[in-house]
């Protein structure tokens, strides 16, 4: 069931979103060659807890950390640990914060300095297309459109640029629960699914692969990788549907 948020709930979600975004930014600043993914996760968790919230992901269905950190061919749900970040790595960081009963959720992908320039150019383009595909979908986050109008806009932009969208994993509603109705796929024909209404809060999160859209899950039960071993990127924000322009609830002190 889709929940419509009232003004008080939206105010709490704005704060959850602000904490989530600034934790993502802090984690992004910690991503550099030589750092471990556990060190990046520690920065994220420290920011969230120091601002009166708790990490949404930690303990969720057994996930052991406050951030998902996915490198190169890892699409989503990478578990932080002893792995060192290398020059030229593509690092996706997914962060959520739970504040006074409500969640914020966002993600971005970062390119580590170094590595081969020809790889860096292709990876920069992958990251840029992934980010922009979110904003193409955002254009349809308005009253009267349907969920699949967002989905179609994301897919169309990604595929027009020669990349592919992941299909088994999707965006979602968000609020008191981190994953609520409706599901928000990154592909599909327009004109289907629930109509958007004021007070709905959703996460649009393109997961984009450089090669095939096919993926597989590792034996750790969490990490999802591309089937062909090529890099992937991820971008996400929490969105409020209003009577007019959609409002990003995950807004922080810097732009990502």
pLDDT confidence band for 251 (50 / 70 / 90): very high
Contacts of residue 12, defined as CB under 8 A and 6 or more positions apart, other chains included, come to: 99, 100, 101, 102
208 located within any domain: yes
Average pLDDT over residues 11-36: 98
Number of domains the chain contains: 1
Average pLDDT over residues 168-172: 98
pLDDT of residue 254: 94
CA distance from start to end of the chain? 31
pLDDT confidence band for 118 (50 / 70 / 90): confident
256 located within any domain: no
Task: Indicate which CATH number applies to the domain containing 29.
Answer: 3.90.230.10
Of 250, 154, 163, give the one whose Cα is nearest residue 201: 250
What sign does the CA torsion over 150, 216, 57, 62 have? positive
Average pLDDT, the chain: 98
2 located within any domain: no
Strand order, beta sheet including 164-165: 164-165, 207-209, 232-234
Supply the range of the domain harboring residue 119: 7-248
pLDDT confidence band for 115 (50 / 70 / 90): confident
Which pLDDT tens digit goes with each residue over 186-230?
Answer: 999 999 999 999 999 999 999 999 999 999 999 999 999 999 999
Burial 116-149 (b: 16+ CB within 10 A, else e): eeeebeebeebbebbbbbbebbbebbbeebbbbb
For the question of whether the overall pTM of this predicted structure is more than 0.85, the answer is yes
């Amino acid at each position: 069931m889709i929940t419509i948020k009232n003004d008080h709930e939206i105010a709490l979600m704005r704060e959850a979103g602000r904490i989530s975004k600034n934790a993502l930014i802090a984690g992004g600043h910690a991503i550099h060659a030589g750092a471990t993914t556990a060190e990046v996760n520690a920065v994220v968790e420290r920011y969230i807890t120091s601002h009166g919230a708790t990490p949404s992901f930690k303990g969720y269905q057994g996930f052991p950390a406050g951030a998902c950190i996915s490198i190169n061919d890892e699409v989503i749900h990478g578990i932080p640990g002893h792995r060192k970040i290398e020059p030229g790595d593509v690092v996706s960081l997914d962060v959520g914060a739970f504040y006074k009963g409500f969640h914020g959720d966002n993600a971005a992908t970062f390119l580590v300095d170094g590595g081969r320039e020809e790889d860096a150019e292709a990876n920069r383009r992958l990251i840029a297309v992934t980010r922009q595909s979110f904003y193409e979908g955002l254009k349809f986050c308005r009253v009267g459109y349907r969920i699949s109008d967002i989905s179609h806009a994301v897919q169309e932009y990604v595929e027009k640029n020669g990349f592919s969208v992941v299909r088994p994993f999707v965006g979602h509603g968000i609020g008191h629960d981190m994953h609520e109705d409706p599901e928000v796929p990154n592909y599909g024909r327009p004109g289907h699914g629930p109509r958007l209404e004021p007070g709905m809060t959703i996460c649009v999160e393109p997961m984009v692969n450089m090669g095939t859209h096919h993926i597989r899950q590792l034996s750790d039960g969490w990490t999802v990788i591309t089937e062909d071993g090529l890099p992937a990127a991820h971008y996400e924000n929490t969105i409020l549907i209003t009577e007019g322009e959609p409002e990003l609830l995950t807004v922080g002190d810097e732009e990502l």
